[in-house]
Structure 1
């Protein structure tokens, strides 16, 4: 495509079919015709042809080369150059931040070409980029909310502490509220830094043999006040002892995040279950609740590091916990799966290979 004697894209300096293409076709026809004449030379004495016939042959070669160049160029421009120009324009729009770009395939699904596959892959890439951009925007909005809320609490209670007429009990209450807000801020920043380091593999797991059952019990007891306050029926089905060779500190983050989510999204009077089993090859831990549950769309995104299923901010969270869990399990060669039904609760199942040294395997 040209405009005012130039290509529509000023970066393009030469077309797909320059003069060299015409010359190539001309030489090709000359070679083929000459070979044909040599092959049938006994029937036609081409050496005695009049000059006008030789000129006619040359004109034929030129005409054939021109026609071949034009027809081939037309086909190339129609089937390749124009789609490539569309692709280039779409890529520029995406680079400028427009993620609504869509390139329709040029052929039906039963007749797709490599170009159609390229367009489909491009559309998928743009969809993913748009999704990531949306999640990033939501993430910064969520983080701003999570930071502003405890900061406002700290500021309000600090101003209250400046008042001289406060009783000692009121001062203690203000102090405790400030401490809770600072812990929330600290947890947010810690999770962000840990996830960033884990993704960049700055933190590497340091496996050691330890009793995962004891760890699960200790993690659960950290939330005893929460389940008692919400009158949640907490059930634990854990073996007496199960050895695991993994990074104890990182896996503690996995269990605390899963338990925290289960208790957070389970209403008063609900039930949370922590179950653990093991065999010679792996440890299986399941955290199940009777909370609000999740629909299919939420299930597909809950492990994305910027995603929050609860956009109302009715519950505390910043969309980093499950992303942190998944990354830790990836580094530990573990897996996590989830099943959920809206209104009926969710169940997260973690499987981790035991990876015990030879001398520990009989224990």
Structure 2
């Protein structure tokens, strides 16, 4: 039976995660081995230097004593008594084997504990060369042993010295062979201790790493389970960032929780949007259908038909603007919308828009001001700017108070064309002002006054304004007024596109 595709997909990141954990542990083992070898190398090298210095110290002390004695008794035959005595006593007390050689490399004397005869013992060419060049020699190789029957490692060190012998100076080479038991034992013990300590530390480190890995795996599983529920639209469980404070996962959980909450809001807004769109479409369609059927079947009197057809026309315009808004929203998100710049009069666009709301304005006794201002001719996309004007006027009509006023302002500054819509009414609170251009956002006041709005008008307006490299701002005083102001940058149109200044204007409605 084949496994589900989702499980196959899940196995791939799990295998990769497992390989990552194995790589971390192997890296930890490698670091532990390198550290242990470094510690062992440093410790053994340091002790070895100390041991060699200690081993050669007794030989150097003896050489200094022989030189001093030769200076004090220049006519004494030191080879007859003093030197053999010193070699035997030093060898016995220190536990070393001493040999005295002449400059030709021939052995003259051996300490009694060597059990060897001096005859036949000679220095190797390497030893003799080193003594003549440097006056010292030191090695722990088997070539430094004078008694080859001894299998154990020994340290060989030699020192050159000059004494007064029979009234003249004589140079000799004093060599010592010393067992390296202490050094060998130290090295063995040090390696053993280092290995044991390293293994203990490595075991603790691996245990801690495994604990961290398991904890991370558990946390990841917990996050994945919650996200899987959220992905299916179940938001009953959330990541709760406050429970992850101080954790390694805190930044990730914070970001994911923010994304999930945004997705939850978007889904809620989407459901509300679909519901509102359905209502917004149904209402004008119902009105249009009812009036058209009434006209066709004769229910509507002839003297009322033009009035009802005017209402049908207004509702058709409302439908057109609604559909245009949704289409433009899709184009904005896809980045495919284009601007068709033309010269047109903003006052006429505002006048035509107000006519679409004439019935609602009359029913609520709303007065309109400013449409008779001097013409403001702008260079922009007339269709897109028409949608901006529609959205701002619709917003003003929704929230103007009963018997209130909607005012228009058309101005021109040094660099901008200015268009503003102002309505009296409850206004917008300071807390809500920064959010009113967000998609689907509806203020507390708008929720109570506008039950079916989509929460898209101001978002679309802002995007159209930005496409024109223009600016939009809002001012409001609670329980007094709200004003939206648009500033279009003055762009000089091509000469062929400039319209005649004598183009007749539409007359504003009388209130």
Q: For the superposition of Structure 1 and Structure 2, which TM-score range results when normalised by the shorter chain?
A: 0.7 to 0.9
Match of 1:43 in 2: 50
> Superposition pairs for residues 20-39 of structure 1, below 5 Å?
20-21=26-27, 23-39=29-45
Aligned to 2:72: none
Where structure 1 has 5 or more consecutive residues not aligned to the other structure, the ranges are 1-8
- Do structure 1's residue 337 and structure 2's residue 473 form an aligned pair? yes
TM-aligned CA distance change 1:217 to 1:178, over 3 Å: closer
Q: 1:158 to 1:209 in 2, by over 3 A?
A: closer
SS of residue in 2 equivalent to 1:43? helix
After superposition, where does 1:82-97 map in structure 2 within 5 Å?
82-97=218-233
Q: What CA distance in whole angstroms lies between the structure 1 residues aligned with 2:362 and 2:43?
A: 101
**Counterparts of 1:289 and 1:212, CA distance in 2:** 18
When residues 182 and 236 of structure 1 are mapped into structure 2, their CA distance, relative to the original with a 3 A threshold, is closer
Q: Which residue number in structure 1 is paired with residue 333 of structure 2?
A: 199
**What's the CA shift for 1:137?**
0.8
2: CA distance between counterparts of 1:311 and 1:217? 28
Q: Are 1:67 and 2:199 an aligned pair?
A: no
Q: Secondary structure at the match of 2:274?
A: helix
| TM-score normalised per structure 2 | 0.57
Distance 1:357 1:148 in 2: 42
How far residue 331 of structure 1 moved from its aligned partner, in angstroms, is 0.6
Q: Distance in 2 between the 1:242 and 1:137 partners?
A: 41
What corresponds to 1:4 in structure 2? none
Distance 1:177 1:278 in 2: 35
Alignment check: 8 A CA contact 1:195 1:324 kept: yes
Call closer, same or farther: CA 1:340–1:128 in 2, change over 3 Å: farther
1:204-353 residue pairs with structure 2 within 5 A? 204-212=338-346, 215-216=349-350, 219=353, 227-228=361-362, 230-236=364-370, 240=374, 242-295=376-429, 299-308=433-442, 310-311=446-447, 317-353=453-489
Under a length normalisation based on structure 1, what TM-score does the superposition of the two structures give? 0.76
CA shift in 2, pair 1:204/1:210, >3 Å: same
Residue in 2 that maps onto 1:132: 266
Q: Tell me, yes or no, if the aligned pair for 2:376 and 2:410 is still in contact at 8 Å.
A: no
Aligned residue number for residue 98 of structure 1 = 234
Choose the corresponding residue for 1:188, options 316, 322, 329: 322
**RCO (CA 8 Å, sep 6+): is it higher in 1 or 2?**
1
Q: Is the 8 A contact 2:350 2:371 kept in 1?
A: no
- C-alpha distance 76-39 of structure 1, shift in aligned 2 (>3 A): farther
Shift in alpha-carbon separation, 1:242–1:31, aligned structure 2, 3 A: farther
Between structure 1 and structure 2, the one with the greater Rg is 2
Work out the CA distance in 1 between the residues paired with 2:329 and 2:319: 16
Deviates more, 1:193-202 or 1:235-244: 235-244
Please give the secondary structure, in 2, of the residue aligned with 1:12: helix
Residues 293 and 236 of structure 1: is their aligned pair in 2 closer, same or farther, counting only changes over 3 Å? same
Give the 3 Å change call, closer, same or farther, for CA 291–115 of structure 1 in structure 2: same
C-alpha displacement of 1:273: 1.4
Contact 2:321 2:387 (8 Å CA) reproduced: no
Contact kept? 1:283, 1:352, Cα under 8 Å: yes
**Larger mean Cα displacement after TM superposition, 211-220 or 283-292:** 211-220
Residue 328 (structure 1) shift:
0.6
- Cα distance in 2 between the residues matched to 1:199 and 1:249: 18
* CA positional deviation for 1:171: 6.5
The alignment partner of 1:283 has SS state of strand
Q: Distance in 1 between matches of 2:266 and 2:466?
A: 21
Counterpart-to-counterpart distance in 2, 1:227 and 1:153 = 18
- 1:212-265 C-alpha deviation (Å, 9 max, x unpaired): 456556655665665455432322188635554322332122123212321232
